[in-house]
Amino acid sequence: MIEDIELETLINEIYEYYGFDFGSYSRASLKRRVNRIYQLDGFTDFHEFLSKVRYDQDYYKHIVNEITVNVTEMFRDPYFYKAIRNQILPLLATKPFIRLWHAGCATGEEVYSMAILLKEAGLLSKSLIYATDINEKVLETAKKGIFPLRMMKEYSENYLGSGGQEDFSNYYTANYGIAKFNDELSQKMVFSQHNLVSDRSFNEFDFIICRNVLIYFDNDLQKRAITLFDESLSVQGFLALGTKETIKYSISQSNYKQLDKEKIWRKVK
């Protein structure tokens, strides 16, 4: 297990050698993830580990990929998607074109979930989902739209819990233990690398989803990310965060109205 001072050394060395700043990440979360990599890769000496990160660029990329990957699933928290289905999409339907940003999309399960909701609401044809993540490796997975077939039973139950009424298997083709989701869904997605720590706004959106990403950031970085979302969100647009995340303390509450008990806010001015 690495010590706190060693973690700070690692953060500083990565920034000095590669320009990637982990300084604003939650220390507790970061330490857990680094320790996991440290143990799995068989290190017992921190200086040996640090040297590997410094001088082996492929290993550095491996470190970043492992630290920044987030666990996700399709229709995660079905009640959340039910709120989108029943309360948000009917309002977005009035727009001539709908732009959505899924920030921190990980391997893409929630992006495909959103595309299915849009299709069932008759809105997919006039929508575009920008799906971004800092992690290049997970973006490649997301682009393919291929997920383990063994997960489809659970995902189907989540889908039904969200108010879905179709046969969930209609949305993918099963083959050799994998489920390949239909191209009709992925054709309305744009996948791109984006760093919430350092990158700026790149469009104006009607709906921004960033769930269970900010919990890995410290307070200052959370505020920076929320401000970025605020700058990127159109008036009357919606912002959705994870169950343990909030816009409180980050931006003016008077500009937003929370949707019931869900972690969804509407920008009212």
In the β-sheet with 205-210, what is the strand arrangement from edge to edge? 189-193, 127-133, 98-103, 205-210, 233-241, 264-267, 256-258
- In this predicted structure, what is the pLDDT of residue 29? 87
Give tens-digit pLDDT for 34-87. 999 999 999 999 999 999 999 999 999 999 888 887 779 999 999 999 999 999
- In this predicted structure, what is the pLDDT of residue 249? 80
| Confidence band of 8 (pLDDT split at 50, 70, 90) | very high
Task: Show the DSSP H helices in the chain as ranges.
Answer: 4-18, 27-40, 46-55, 57-68, 78-83, 89-92, 109-120, 136-144, 152-161, 183-186, 219-232
Query: What percent of the chain lies above the pLDDT cut of 70?
Result: 100
- In this predicted structure, what is the pLDDT of residue 219? 87
Summarize the confidence of residues 106-127 as an average pLDDT. Answer: 97
- In this predicted structure, what is the pLDDT of residue 125? 98
What are the beta bridge partners of residue 83? none
Residue 251 has pLDDT above 90, yes or no: no
Residue 126 has pLDDT above 80, yes or no: yes
Query: What percent of the chain lies above the pLDDT cut of 90?
Result: 81
Structure pTM? Answer: 0.88
Q: Which of 187-191, 217-221, 258-262 reaches the highest mean pLDDT? A: 187-191
Residue 7 has pLDDT above 80, yes or no: yes
Specify the range with the lowest mean pLDDT, choosing from 14-28, 91-105, 120-134, 175-189.
14-28
- In this predicted structure, what is the pLDDT of residue 261? 75
Summarize the confidence of residues 204-224 as an average pLDDT. Answer: 92
